[in-house]
Amino acid sequence: MEQFKVFRAIGLSFKAWFANFIPFTILAGLVYAPTIYLMATMPSLDSVSVSGMEAWVSKFQHATWALLAGSTLLAPLLMHRVIHYMNGNKSSFGESVKHGVRGIIPAVIVAGVVTVVQMVPFGGIVGAVLTCYWFVTAPAAVVERLNPVAALSRSNQLTQGRRWGIFGLCILLGLTNVIVMLVYLGPMLTGHVDSVEKAKTALEHFMYVFLSVAMVYQLFLGIVQAVSYSLLRADKDGVSNEELAKVFE
């Protein structure tokens, strides 16, 4: 029976998230601390002059980049705990971080390559393809103790024959993220802004909603990657969750 299916991966990811809500939230809070700090120290737009808007926008961009950097670090740090959860066990916070560090460099490489590629014409399409090939690079590096190049190759092997499913998974998660943002930002986007004060309020609201929703989305995506790796290993290698968990012993 094929283990990796889109809705199965999403369902198991939600279960893993809710079962580990507090430790995952703490870990995300630590990783996203720079983003949260930048958000908290953003000056109120009521006190910012029109000429000072450029500096405010620049700080918002810094917060966005800090969020992307934190998201890259977060995914591999979740791997150890997700695997133990799927095996019916719990793991310590420290062990999750210790083992997850191994996947940080591969995750950074994937994020860096995809980001750069997306900056060129039609780069979005190429970036989506690379994401499908390298979707479980960080989890592979953590569990199989692989160097970055080997982890990229291993992800390519594991995703072979499942890339359309991974593409559909990414599209579904991305659309859900957009819909959630639109629900919160819809009134602002469709409302009538007839003064500078209202425009500033709307912009501030956009910043907080955009960054907050993005942080939650990236946290869940990291869990999905860990769960997907487990399911792909079961499909490709016939490896059970119990056998994966024993790797960390």
Query: Residues with Cβ < 8 Å from 226, sequence gap 6 or more?
Result: 16, 75, 78, 79, 82, 83, 139
pLDDT digits (tens, 9 = 90+) for 161-187: 999 999 999 999 989 888 887 777 666
Is a pLDDT exceeding 90 seen at residue 198? no
Domains in the chain: how many in total?
A: 1
Residue pLDDT, tens place only, 230-245: 999 999 999 888 888 8
Which stretch, 3-17, 110-124, 179-193, 201-215, has highest mean pLDDT? Answer: 3-17
**Would you list the DSSP string of 5-73?**
-HHHHHHHHHHHHHHTHHHHHHHHHHHTHHHHHHHHTPPPGGG--GGGHHHHHHHHHHHHHHHHHHHHH
Distance in angstroms between the alpha carbons of the first and the last residue of the chain = 28
Domain annotation covers residue 66: yes
pLDDT band at 50 (very low <50, low <70, confident <90, very high): low
Residue 1 lies in a domain: no
Q: How confident is the model at residue 45 (pLDDT cuts 50, 70, 90)?
A: low
For residue 37, how many other CB atoms are within 10 A of its CB?
Answer: 12
pTM confidence score: 0.89
Mean pLDDT of the chain: 86
> Is 38 a domain residue?
yes
Extended beta strands in the chain, E state = none
Which structural domain range is residue 114 located in?
Answer: 6-246
Spatial CA neighbour of 97 closest among 156, 28, 17, 167: 28
pLDDT at 208 over 90: no
Does any domain span residue 221? Answer: yes
108 pLDDT more than 70: yes
User: For residue 33, is it within any domain?
Assistant: yes
